[in-house]
């Protein structure tokens, strides 16, 4: 019998009052312990850091601390549900960081969705953390927020919904191509459905990896240069994707495509659409909790390889495969900014971790021993 994960999760969170807590690294059993941990001893530590701020990286938790920042405007597939409702998701991210890479991650949900205010708040937090993970912030605001913070902070900033997802998708595609014997990136035709944070980042990373034929669709159909009524992020996307300027709805654009990547909504890909794709098609339906098409339906329609974002199905493409190791590597190696080279190496490390990919296993499991360490080593 299939478990009721929603019911189990509600019970767990209520029983434990959340998933994370703070613990100390040293004993505080008497006044002598307190005098070393706190006053008067700690004054010497503060004075040393005041003379050389770099000492904060070796005398405080900063070098191992990540702030997970969200405004609750795009939480999972639930939409703009607000900061408080986003907190359990951010706690989950924190728990994953700690479990797999021993990073101390703090969930910070903000009672504002104003771009300028979010940027100012995160800038003010910089002295306390070694890196910033932006999470569940809606597009197109997320693009500006990440760009401004990346330029103004001296620590790495990454919007995980964008880049973590893009890295995992690229890693999955590379192995799916091996299984279906597609050897030339430039000839592969890819359709990305969804032009939000994840869709834009996926398209850009695919281009950076050498793919040439990438078409992104939104609710109005294919995005192409000159299409009226697009916001600035879509105008920019149109200038680098869809070189043939295909137009029309998803059901027309997907005909003959080799790969479908869905980061949109439930049920948007039909069996007939899958049947119209190229032979041995690759279908990634990543909408959560209900994908664009259920894996069984996609396979019945002829897809050779199917993946989803659900943890209860094979070939789960989830950004949790990447971000723990990626941040571990960035913290350890003093990375200041996340660029395409870091993302591409992480995708190669992810795909390369599966030595003999098959249709049922194109991507590792988050629990595979050594995975997160391999991602961390890829950071240079």
Q: Give the angle 166-100-94 at the CA atoms, nearest 5°.
A: 75
Give CA–CA dist 363/317, Å, rounded: 7
Of 314, 332, 313, 316, nearest in space to 324 by CA: 332
Q: What are phi and psi of 67, to 5 degrees?
A: -95, 125
* H helices present in the chain, as ranges: 5-16, 31-37, 42-51, 56-59, 83-101, 115-125, 141-152, 160-179, 197-208, 232-238, 250-253, 271-275, 295-300, 323-333, 340-352, 371-378
Cross-strand partners of 334: none
Name every residue whose Cβ is closer than 8 Å to that of residue 39 and which is 6 or more positions away in sequence. none
Q: Which of 38, 245, 333, 336 does the annotation list as catalytic?
A: 38
Place of tokens 């003010």: 124
Give CA–CA dist 180/174, Å, rounded: 10
Contact of 169 with 321, CB cutoff 8 Å: no
Q: Which of 3, 14, 27, 93 does the annotation list as catalytic?
A: 93
Of 294, 297, 319, nearest in space to 308 by CA: 294
**What single-letter DSSP state applies at residue 278?**
P
Of 13, 6, 164, nearest in space to 87 by CA: 13
Name every residue whose Cβ is closer than 8 Å to that of residue 27 and which is 6 or more positions away in sequence. 33
CB atoms near residue 26 (< 10 Å): 8
Is 5 an active-site residue?
A: no
Is 93 an active-site residue?
A: yes
Active site residues: 38, 93
């Amino acid at each position: 019998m299939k478990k009721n994960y929603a019911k189990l999760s509600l019970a767990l969170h209520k029983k434990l009052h959340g998933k994370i807590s703070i613990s100390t690294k040293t004993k505080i059993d008497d006044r002598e312990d307190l005098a070393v941990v706190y006053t008067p001893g700690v004054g010497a530590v503060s004075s040393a850091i005041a003379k050389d701020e770099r000492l904060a990286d070796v005398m405080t938790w900063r070098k191992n601390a990540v702030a997970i920042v969200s405004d609750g405007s795009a939480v999972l597939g639930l939409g703009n549900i607000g900061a408080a409702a986003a907190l359990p998701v951010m706690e989950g991210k924190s728990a994953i960081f700690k479990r797999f890479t021993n990073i101390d991650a703090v969930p910070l949900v903000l009672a504002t969705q104003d771009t300028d205010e979010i940027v100012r708040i995160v800038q003010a937090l910089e002295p306390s953390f070694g890196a910033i993970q932006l999470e569940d912030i809606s597009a197109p605001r997320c693009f500006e927020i990440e760009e401004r913070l990346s330029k103004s902070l001296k620590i790495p900033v990454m919007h995980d919904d964008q880049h973590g997802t893009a890295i995992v998708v690229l890693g999955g595609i590379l192995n799916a191509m091996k299984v279906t014997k597609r050897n030339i990136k430039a000839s592969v035709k890819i359709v990305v459905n969804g032009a939000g944070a994840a869709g834009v980042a996926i398209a850009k990373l695919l281009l950076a990896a050498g793919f040439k034929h990438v078409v992104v669709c939104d609710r109005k159909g294919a995005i192409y240069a000159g299409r009226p009524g697009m916001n600035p992020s879509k105008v920019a996307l149109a200038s680098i994707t869809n070189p043939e300027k295909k137009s029309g709805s998803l059901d027309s654009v997907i005909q003959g495509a080799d790969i479908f990547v869905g980061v949109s909504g439930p049920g948007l890909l039909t069996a007939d659409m899958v049947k119209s794709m190229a032979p041995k098609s690759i279908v990634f339906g990543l909408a959560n909790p209900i994908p664009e098409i259920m894996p069984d339906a996609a396979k019945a329609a002829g897809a050779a390889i199917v993946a989803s974002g659900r943890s209860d199905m094979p070939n789960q493409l989830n950004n949790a495969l990447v971000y723990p190791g990626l941040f571990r590597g960035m913290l350890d190696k003093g990375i200041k900014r996340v660029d395409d080279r870091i993302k591409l190496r992480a995708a190669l490390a992810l795909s390369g971790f599966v030595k003999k990919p098959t249709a049922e296993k194109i991507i590792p499991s988050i629990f595979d021993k050594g995975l997160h360490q391999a991602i961390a080593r890829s950071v240079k």
